[in-house]
Homo-oligomer: A and B are copies of this chain.
């Protein structure tokens, strides 16, 4: 439904992250694009970062042994975390925890070929006190060239 213009990589990643179990995007991914999704919950920000890096590598979104790809992903993850944490990239240190769905999409969102591949990291979930129900939603998006 939502995806008319098919190459907006951040929007696509966010729709994946927002999608509930069983929902599917109504527009196919552009040719040659790759993505993965996953879930992670923790008070430990290190684990959040690690879960996304592991997913991206095991899904072959990025090449494990090429540092520039890891570097591109790392900064996209950090930028997405700014949106989720809104001020200080801290979770347990300030007594809060997150439960997140993430989507990582790789492709060229621009018309011209020389723009190459880009990464979008989208996060959607909840943030709050480590008490069931004491939480509200949070969202983040990071975009980087790769």
Give the interface of A toward B (CB within 8 A). Answer: 1-2, 4-5, 8-11, 14-15, 18-20, 23, 26, 45-46, 49-50, 53, 66-68, 70-72, 74-75, 78-79, 81-90, 92-96, 109-110, 112, 114-116, 118, 120, 122, 124, 128-129, 131, 133-146
Contacts and interface: CB of A to CB of B under 8 A. Distances in A.
B68 A145 contact: yes
A64 to B, nearest CB: 10
B134 A70 contact: yes
A46 B93 CA distance: 5
A23 B4 contact: yes
B93 A93 contact: yes
B141 A9 contact: no
Across chains A and B, which 9 residue pairs bring their CB atoms closest together, nearest first? Answer: A83-B83, A10-B137, A139-B141, A68-B145, A49-B95, A82-B86, A136-B143, A79-B86, A88-B89
